Amino acid sequence: MSNALRIRTGKFGRVALLDMDRPLVRHAHPHCHVLLKVEGADTSFLVGDEVVPLTHESAVLINAWTPHAYVHRLNAPRTIILALYIEPSWLAEFRSNWEASAGSGFFDRTVDAITPQIRKQAMTLAASMVHAPTAIADHETQLGELMVSVIERFTEWRSVGPSLRDAAQSQAIDWRVSKAISKLHKVAGEVSDIDSLAQTVGMSRANFFRVFERSTGVTPRVFSNMIRLERAVSAVVSSDLSFGALSDQLGFTAQAHFTRFFRDHTGVPPSSFRSISRLGDTSDFFRI
């Protein structure tokens, strides 16, 4: 069974050190997402429609809203992965134009070779999270140094910014899709039937799926699950709400279904996520 060795959350987003031995379902995040191997077997991710390797020499780079899944071969050895989910607003504190990490074109490739410096910084952060779990300020400093190196290595960082294509696409989202997205954000736990959502905006199921994916880059189900997951992660980390109550809030018919959903998207059950994310929590640092 996969385990979370350490989890940190804060204004930067979240960082998870995951010991993985099972696949994750296809999903997406509203953050840029960087994956670095710490130890264990080489492995791979499905990013969009491309399977890309994660090794000691490579990083997997996933833009915001890009569907992806962890691919773990049956009976393959375990892999420890440093997974970074980074908030655009935090990156903008380093350089204002790095807020473009919220867009689809921040990384122009899904996998590439890392430098010795990135390798060293990733290992330093992982080791510090394990051996010094209360050194929260150090972890954020180390994460910042790592992300600066990653962005300088893998983006045109001096000129990066929203492209005209992205800007045009964001302004051209079908009004019915915008209405559906607004409903998902307001009542994510009440929208369990995507067919009914299509009906509420006056579209057939097939047309709704086609227009939604063309507008957002992901299917309605992936988008809905993203909202539920981010709200679940926030509540698991920053509140003491029972998992039964949280399950009800997010529209699951049983707590077991919520637990399975959470584990299939993060790699670990919510109980482990909560306890591990609070290691070293001596302040309101984790309140997001």
pLDDT tens digit string along 145-155?
Answer: 999 999 999 99
Residue 159 has a pLDDT of 76
Indicate the residue type of 237: V
Residue 254 vs residue 288, higher pLDDT: 254
- Hunting for tokens 């929260």 — which residue is that? 136
| Pair 275, 237: CB distance under 8 Å | no
Backbone angles phi, psi at 96, to 5 degrees: -60, -35
Please check the confidence at residue 87 and state whether its pLDDT lies above 90. Answer: yes
Please check the confidence at residue 284 and state whether its pLDDT lies above 50. Answer: no
Confidence of residue 195 (pLDDT cuts 50, 70, 90): confident
Indicate the residue type of 35: L
Please state the rounded mean pLDDT for residues 165-194.
Answer: 73
215 three-state secondary structure: helix
Q: How far apart are CA 176 and CA 153, in angstroms?
A: 39
Residue 255 has a pLDDT of 96
Confidence of residue 158 (pLDDT cuts 50, 70, 90): confident
Indicate the residue type of 172: A
Q: How far apart are CA 217 and CA 146, in angstroms?
A: 28
- Kind of pairing between the strands at 68-71 and 3-10: unpaired
Please check the confidence at residue 51 and state whether its pLDDT lies above 90. Answer: yes
Residue 46 β-bridge partners: 51, 69
Confidence of residue 286 (pLDDT cuts 50, 70, 90): very low
pLDDT in tens, 105-123: 899 999 999 999 999 999 9
Indicate the residue type of 98: W
**Range list of H helices, 51-135:** 88-91, 116-131
Cα→Cα distances 66→26, 86, 89, 208, 226, Å: 10, 14, 19, 19, 11
Residue 5 has a pLDDT of 95
Predicted TM-score (pTM) of this structure: 0.89
Please state the rounded mean pLDDT for residues 62-83.
Answer: 94
41 burial class (0-12, 13-18, 19+ CB within 10 angstroms)?
Answer: middle
Please state the rounded mean pLDDT for residues 83-87.
Answer: 97
Please state the rounded mean pLDDT for residues 126-139.
Answer: 95
Ranked by mean pLDDT, the top range of 127-136, 174-183, 209-218 is: 127-136
Please check the confidence at residue 93 and state whether its pLDDT lies above 70. Answer: yes
**Range list of H helices, 31-161:** 88-91, 116-131, 136-154
Please check the confidence at residue 193 and state whether its pLDDT lies above 50. Answer: yes
Alpha carbons within 13 angstroms on the beta-carbon side of residue 102 total 14
Cβ atoms within 10 A of the Cβ of 94, count? Answer: 13
